[in-house]
Amino acid sequence: MTESAAQSRARTTPRILVIGGGYVGMYTALRLQRKLKRGEAEVIVVDPQPYMTYQPFLPEAAAGSISPRHVVVPLRRVLSKCQLVVGEATHIDHSKRVATVATLATEEEGTSGIEIPYDHLVLAPGSVSRTLPIPGLAEFAIGFKTVEEAIGLRNHVLEQLDIASSTRDVDVRDAALTFVFVGGGYAGVEALAELEDMARYATRYYHNLRPEDMKWVLVEATEKILPEVGEEMGKYAIRELRARNIDLRLGTRLDSCENRVAVLSDGTRLPTRTVVWTAGVKPHPILAATDLPLNERGRLKGTATLMIDGVEGAWAAGDAAAVPDLTAEEPGKECAPNAQHAVRQTKVLAENILASLRGQPMKEYRHKYVGSVASLGLHKGVAHVYGRKLKGYPAWFMHRTYHLSRVPTFNRKARVLAEWTLSGLFKREIVSLGSLEHPRAEFELAAGGPPKPDAP
């Protein structure tokens, strides 16, 4: 992949380098491969994983309603006309139009990475979990941003039920049955609601566990949850969750989770083996490893055409970019970094890259936010869409219908719909496959070596 200066000059076909294979990266590359003429440009996509994760389905994957493999979209299959490089961009020098990428091969070779020259750059690395310097957080907490974390959390929750069912130690039992989620946004609320639903169903198969034995706690620093669905629907969600005996601690922070004890800012101490951190995201670190302009929050300074402000040949959208919202009434407002904007921005982004290649005028991105939907477990949800407010089953049905329409490829749509149909006809699966996280543990033990310790 590394080119010499002579090879770079000899290359006549423009190269479009897409950093990131998430919403923005995959959809932009997909549109480009459909619209580019033969020999007009080549597209290279760089991402640490060979798949795109449809994150709105992570809570259902954690609850067992959708198989993990149906939450991800294989990039090699979808982007058949693009070149995929599985690796992590570590540095971008746009003044030289070169990106440095670390791959699995460069790690084995002991080199710093390969250099990929480009003519146009699309920066769409997404975001990473925003953590705080809380004692014990790095050692004991679980994230909820990847499919691996979602399935790991499902296995972990079911293992806690097994621990509680088989111990005679009251303290161990109480800690195993206490589940603390930090963050009252989409990820935290939907993950907690789906897993609580699953765990409550699973207790019927344990002779000495009851749903009321479990303690589910949601910790949120502000005074509301799900702000995207509006104040009224947010309050309904609070009532719905509390009616299920879920302990909502609003206006409260997590101060510590050392030694399997969650200490809250209101003084509460909760012995627990499960702390799930979903308290927001921050820009990807690669943005700081570029020579491109950033705003005060570390996001790229974008324009309405999705070109990076003041920089030729560099584009950005989604979580990585601060894009002005042309439909907002107040001046200076930016588009929210959510999937609704990200997916729609990719259409304008791809068309503007094509226009730039062809010397044509570019379009500006404008989209008025239509609302949000959120699941609160099986057959339960809230929605605020086009000014209409829905709750309960209608909102849940809208949540499923909307995301089924948005998940990429007909193949994935059909598989997800089939799974939902079958799950409505049969009972839930409540099997824990905890060995997936450590597949060599049994063999190591058989071979005489000590098994690797399980993650907390």
pLDDT at 448: 74
Res. 110 pLDDT band, cuts 50 70 90: confident
49 Cβ partners below 8 Å, 6+ apart? 21, 86
| 285 vs 281: which has the higher pLDDT | 285
Strand partners, 283: 127
Residue 7 confidence (pLDDT): 52
Statement: residue 244 has pLDDT above 60: yes
Residue 249 has pLDDT above 80, yes or no: yes
Which one-letter amino acid corresponds to residue 33? Answer: Q
Q: What is the model's pTM?
A: 0.87
Q: Which pLDDT score, from 0 to 100, does residue 362 have? A: 95
Q: Each residue of 369-409: pLDDT tens digit?
A: 777 888 998 889 998 887 788 899 999 999 899 889 888 88
In this structure, are residues 283 and 275 in contact, taking their beta carbons and an 8 Å threshold?
no
Strand partners, 44: 17, 83
Strand pairing report for 321-322 and 314-316 = unpaired
The pair phi, psi for residue 15, each rounded to 5°, is -115, 130
Identify the sign of the CA torsion 326, 329, 335, 338.
negative
Tens digit of each residue's pLDDT (9 = 90 or more) over 189-201: 999 999 999 999 9
